[in-house]
Structure 1
Amino acid sequence: MIRQYELVEKVKAYDPEADEDLINRAYVFSMKAHGSQRRASGDPYFLHPLEVAGILANMRLDTGSIVTALLHDTVEDTVATNEEIHKAFGAEIAQLVDGVTKLSKLELQDAEAKQAENFRKLVLAMSKDIRVLLVKLADRLHNMRTLDAIPSEDKRRRIARETIEIYAPLAERIGMNEMKDELEDLAFSHLNPDARASIVRRLSELRLEGGESVPGVLEELCAVLEENGISASVTGREKRPYSIWRKMQRKSIPFEQLMDIMAFRIVVSDVADCYQALGIIHATYASIPGRFKDYISTPKPNGYQSLHTAVIGPMRRRIEIQIRTELMHRVAELGVAAHWSYKQGGPEVEVETQRYRWLQELLDILDQAQKPEEFLEHTKLELFQDQVFCFTPKGMLIALPQHATPVDFAYAVHSEIGDTCIGARVNGRMVTLRQQLQNGDQVDIITSRTSTPSPEWERFVATGKARARIRRFVRLQQRSQYANLGKALLQKVFRNEGYDFTEKAVEGTLKAFKAMSTEDIYASIGAGNTPARDVFAQIFPGHKSAVQKSQTGDDANVVPLSKARKTQPRGHGQPLPIRGLIPGMAVHYARCCHPIPGDRIVGIVTTGKGVTIHTIDCETLENFYETPERWIDVSWDSDASNGEDHVGRLHAVIANEPGSLGTLTTVIGKNGGNITNLKITHRSIDFFEMLIDVDVSDVKHLTHIIAALRATPVITQVDRARSG
Structure 2
Amino acid sequence: MGDKIDFTTQEKDTSMTLYNLLRKEIATSLKEGDEEKMRQKITWLIESKELQRDVFGLNPVMLAFQTAKLIVEEIGLKRDAVLAVLLNPCVECGLITPEETEKEFGTAVFRILRGLKRIKELYLKNPVIETENFRNLLLSFAEDMRVILIMIADRVNLMRQIRDAQDKELQREVSEEAIYLYAPLAHKLGLYKLKSELEDLSLKYLEHDAYYYIREKLNETKEKRDAYIADFIKPISDKLKEAGMSFHIKGRTKSIHSIWQKMKKQQCDFEGVYDLFAIRVILDSPLEKEKMLCWQVYSIVTDMYQPNPKRLRDWLSVPKSNGYESLHITVLGPEKKWVEVQIRTERMDEVAERGVAAHWRYKGIKGESGLDEWLTNVRKMLETSDGVEAMDQFKMDLYEDEVFVFTPKGDLYKFPKGATVLDFAYHIHSKIGNACTGARINNRVVTIRQQLRSGDQVEIITSTNQKPRQEWLNIVKTSRAKSKIRLALKETQVKEGLFAKEMLERKFKNRKLELEDSTMQHLIKKLGFKEVSDFYKQIADGLLDVNSVIDKYVEIQQGEQPVTGNNVAQTAADFVLDNTHLHQDAIQSDVLVIDRNLKGVDYQLARCCQPIYGDKVFGFVTVTGGIKIHREDCPNAPEMRKRFGYRIVKAKWSGKGASQYTITLRVIGNDDIGIVNNLTNIISREEKLVLRGINIDSHDGLFSGSLVVMLDDTTRLEALIKKLRTVKGVKQVERI
Q: TM-score, normalised by structure 2?
A: 0.49
Alignment correspondent of 1:33: 45
Alignment correspondent of 2:577: 550
Q: How many Å separate the matches in 1 of 2:305 and 2:170?
A: 50
Q: CA deviation at 1:88?
A: 2.4
> Structure 1: which amino acid aligns with 2:577?
S
Alignment correspondent of 1:322: 342
> Structure 2: which amino acid aligns with 1:360?
L
CA contact (8 A) 2:329 2:340 kept: yes
> Structure 2: which amino acid aligns with 1:164?
I
Q: Tell me, yes or no, if structure 1 residue 181 matches structure 2 residue 193.
A: no
> Structure 1: which amino acid aligns with 2:231?
G
> Structure 2: which amino acid aligns with 1:81?
T
Q: Tell me, yes or no, if structure 1 residue 168 matches structure 2 residue 183.
A: yes
SS in structure 2 at match of 1:234: strand
Q: CA deviation at 1:320?
A: 1.7
> Structure 2: which amino acid aligns with 1:253?
C
Q: CA deviation at 1:241?
A: 1.1
Alignment correspondent of 1:455: none
Distance 1:550 1:490, change over 3 A: closer
Q: Tell me, yes or no, if structure 1 residue 145 matches structure 2 residue 188.
A: no
Unaligned runs of 5+ residues in structure 2 are 1-13, 357-378, 420-475, 505-536, 544-570, 587-599, 605-622, 625-736
Q: How many Å separate the matches in 1 of 2:281 and 2:243?
A: 14
Unaligned runs of 5+ residues in structure 1 are 380-410, 416-469, 499-530, 538-543, 567-578, 581-724
Alignment correspondent of 1:482: 488
CA contact (8 A) 1:369 1:375 kept: yes
Q: CA deviation at 1:484?
A: 5.8
Q: CA deviation at 1:170?
A: 0.9
CA contact (8 A) 2:324 2:351 kept: yes
Q: Tell me, yes or no, if structure 1 residue 227 matches structure 2 residue 252.
A: no
Alignment correspondent of 1:203: 218
SS in structure 1 at match of 2:331: strand
Aligned pair partner of 1:248 in 257, 263, 267:
263
CA deviation map 1:275-319 (0-9, x unaligned): 332333233321234333334556567654433222123565432
CA contact (8 A) 2:128 2:411 kept: no
CA deviation map 1:73-130 (0-9, x unaligned): 332244322222233222321221122236657896867489999867633333x322
Q: How many Å separate the matches in 2 of 1:168 and 1:369?
A: 23
Q: How many Å separate the matches in 1 of 2:210 and 2:477?
A: 38
CA contact (8 A) 1:10 1:57 kept: yes
Q: CA deviation at 1:57?
A: 1.1
Aligned pair partner of 2:353 in 333, 339, 343:
333
CA deviation map 1:458-488 (0-9, x unaligned): xxxxxxxxxxxx9953234313432465478
Residues 267-282 of structure 1 mapped to structure 2, 5 A cutoff: 267-268=282-283, 269=285, 270=287, 271-272=290-291, 273-282=293-302
Q: How many Å separate the matches in 2 of 1:45 and 1:53?
A: 12
CA RMSD in angstroms comes to 4.8
Q: How many Å separate the matches in 1 of 2:539 and 2:125?
A: 38
CA deviation map 1:20-70 (0-9, x unaligned): 743664454245335454356656431111111111111322322222222
Q: Tell me, yes or no, if structure 1 residue 343 matches structure 2 residue 355.
A: no
Distance 1:110 1:41, change over 3 A: closer
Alignment correspondent of 2:633: none
Residues 248-327 of structure 1 mapped to structure 2, 5 A cutoff: 248-268=263-283, 269=285, 270=287, 271-272=290-291, 273-296=293-316, 304-313=324-333, 317-327=337-347
Alignment correspondent of 1:525: none
Distance 1:117 1:372, change over 3 A: farther
CA contact (8 A) 1:144 1:183 kept: yes
Q: How many Å separate the matches in 2 of 1:340 and 1:158?
A: 35
CA contact (8 A) 1:304 1:328 kept: yes
CA deviation map 1:675-724 (0-9, x unaligned): xxxxxxxxxxxxxxxxxxxxxxxxxxxxxxxxxxxxxxxxxxxxxxxxxx
Q: CA deviation at 1:199?
A: 0.6
Distance 1:364 1:220, change over 3 A: farther
Q: How many Å separate the matches in 2 of 1:275 and 1:129?
A: 42
Aligned pair partner of 1:360 in 391, 398, 402:
398
Q: Tell me, yes or no, if structure 1 residue 84 matches structure 2 residue 100.
A: yes
> Structure 2: which amino acid aligns with 1:93?
V
CA contact (8 A) 2:66 2:157 kept: yes
Q: How many Å separate the matches in 2 of 1:535 and 1:70?
A: 68
Distance 1:139 1:219, change over 3 A: same
The sequence identity of aligned pairs, in percent, is 24
Deviates more, 1:175-184 or 1:129-138: 129-138
| Higher Cα Rg, which structure | 2
Q: CA deviation at 1:325?
A: 2.5
Q: Tell me, yes or no, if structure 1 residue 62 matches structure 2 residue 62.
A: no
Q: How many Å separate the matches in 2 of 1:228 and 1:218?
A: 15
Distance 1:93 1:107, change over 3 A: closer
Q: CA deviation at 1:208?
A: 3.1
Q: How many Å separate the matches in 2 of 1:114 and 1:238?
A: 28
Alignment correspondent of 1:50: 65
Aligned pair partner of 2:113 in 67, 81, 97:
97
CA deviation map 1:409-439 (0-9, x unaligned): xx9xxx9xxxxxxxxxxxxxxxxxxxxxxxx
CA contact (8 A) 2:279 2:340 kept: yes
Q: TM-score, normalised by structure 1?
A: 0.50
Distance 1:117 1:321, change over 3 A: closer
SS in structure 1 at match of 2:190: coil
Distance 1:563 1:304, change over 3 A: same
SS in structure 2 at match of 1:259: coil
> Structure 2: which amino acid aligns with 1:33?
L
Residues 667-686 of structure 1 mapped to structure 2, 5 A cutoff: none
CA contact (8 A) 2:84 2:113 kept: yes
Q: Tell me, yes or no, if structure 1 residue 473 matches structure 2 residue 500.
A: no
Q: CA deviation at 1:214?
A: 2.7
CA contact (8 A) 2:316 2:325 kept: yes
Aligned pair partner of 2:231 in 197, 208, 216:
216
Q: How many Å separate the matches in 2 of 1:295 and 1:4?
A: 43
Distance 1:489 1:158, change over 3 A: same
